[in-house]
Amino acid sequence: MCILRSPCREAGCAIVGAGPDLAPADRRLYAIRDVTATVESLDLITASILSKKLAAGLQALVMDVKVGSGAVMPELSQAQALAASLVEVAAGSGLPTRALITDMNQVLGRSAGHAVEVREALDVLSGAPAEPRLLELCLLQTAHLLVMGGLQPTLEAALKAARAALASGAAAERFSRMVALQGGPRDVMREPRLSAAPCRVGVWPAAARRGRVSTIDVRAVGLALLRIGGGRARPGDAIDPRVGLTEVLGVGEVFGEQRPLAVLHAASAEQARAAAREVAAAFGWVDEDHAVAPSPLVHQVVGSATVGRSQGTP
């Protein structure tokens, strides 16, 4: 039974987080991990993640385990160990689980930050052209869950159903209904009430105004945003949801005079200048005539009825 009965019953879905009614000890345990340098402990990560999932009374679980420069597990072997741990412990508790190990060596989508990522997600739901990797991963995760829930017989059929729900507007309507039932805006697709930063600047490398992105240190990008209010350095820090990046280029894409590496959203020009330098330094680049291939989006699928490497992706 879903812990948020009304949204689940009336909309069929809900966004749930730990709190007084769901895994209340997790927040305190995480705070202890933060000060004891055990945030990256595999066993504690597994316990923290699954405590919420198991408490919610799920029938099936699909997880996204990130690997790469922006992930807690930067090496594939580490991500594989975490995925195996999550699947094994969940299965031992009676919860069929599948973990997709996916790339985080570049920003997923075109945005990074609280309000701008929500805006991008709403745009995808509304049918606007989506960054291919973001759309592919969302559809693939949905398809795996449909198969595990017994709603579709195969991954291919599930992908077709997910695309149809997106194209018809059914996905957007269901999301909007869920948000309203959970106390959010009644018409979130039209009036999301997202705050916007007053200062926006383009980000280019200091040494060039044209080239091709070869690498991205996603962790460094995140830290640059954190330092201007886009995240918390310690519990209790205030977050400025307006801070972020949009129009972020991916590995292999070309930047030029009219196309920066990203557009930085900040609270002031001073913040923007400082963060832009840090963000620019996080991007590696080569001459634009050099071909550069990004990492595969899905490295492996681990879990019950595993389908192996990504097959039948959109």
pTM: 0.89
* pLDDT at residue 5, rounded to an integer: 55
* pLDDT at residue 308, rounded to an integer: 38
Among residues 197, 243, 240, 200, which one has the least CA distance to residue 221?
A: 243
User: What size, in residues, is the chain?
Assistant: 314
What residue has token string 């749930």?
A: 16
* Tens of pLDDT, residues 215-239: 999 999 999 999 999 998 877 789 9
Do the two domains 5-191+295-303 and 201-286 of this chain adopt the same fold? no
Let me know: does 130 contact 243? Beta carbons within 8 Å: no
Is 182 buried (19+), middle (13-18) or exposed (0-12) by CB count in 10 A?
middle
Let me know: does 126 contact 137? Beta carbons within 8 Å: no
Helix (H) or strand (E) run with residue 201 in it: strand 199-203
Question: What does the DSSP assignment read for 7-33?
Answer: HHHHHS------BTTB-THHHHHHHHH
Let me know: does 264 contact 275? Beta carbons within 8 Å: yes
* pLDDT at residue 201, rounded to an integer: 96
- Cα gap 47→65, rounded to integer Å: 15
The residue extents of the domains of the chain are 5-191+295-303, 201-286
Residues 6+ apart with CB under 8 A from 313: 136, 139, 140, 159, 297, 298
Would you tell me how many other CB atoms lie within 10 Å of the CB of residue 166?
20
Let me know: does 192 contact 115? Beta carbons within 8 Å: no
- Which residues does the chain have with pLDDT short of 70? 1-6, 34-35, 37, 304-314
Task: Tokens for 296, please give them.
Answer: 């595969």
The vertex-237 CA angle with 234 and 241, nearest 5°, equals 120
Maximum C-alpha span of the chain: 57
- Cα gap 302→309, rounded to integer Å: 9
- Cα gap 28→44, rounded to integer Å: 13
* pLDDT at residue 180, rounded to an integer: 93
Among residues 200, 185, 196, which one has the least CA distance to residue 247?
A: 200
Which amino acid type is present at position 63?
M
Query: For the chain, how many helices (H) and strands (E)?
Result: 10, 10
Among residues 83, 189, 185, which one has the least CA distance to residue 127?
A: 189
* Tens of pLDDT, residues 123-167: 999 999 999 999 999 999 999 999 999 999 999 999 999 999 999
β-pairing, 61-67 with 97-103?
parallel
CATH architecture of 5-191+295-303: 3-Layer(aba) Sandwich (3.40)
Among residues 126, 106, 142, which one has the least CA distance to residue 221?
A: 106
CATH top-level class for 201-286? alpha beta
Question: What does the DSSP assignment read for 48-66?
Answer: HHHHHHHHTT-S-EEEEEE
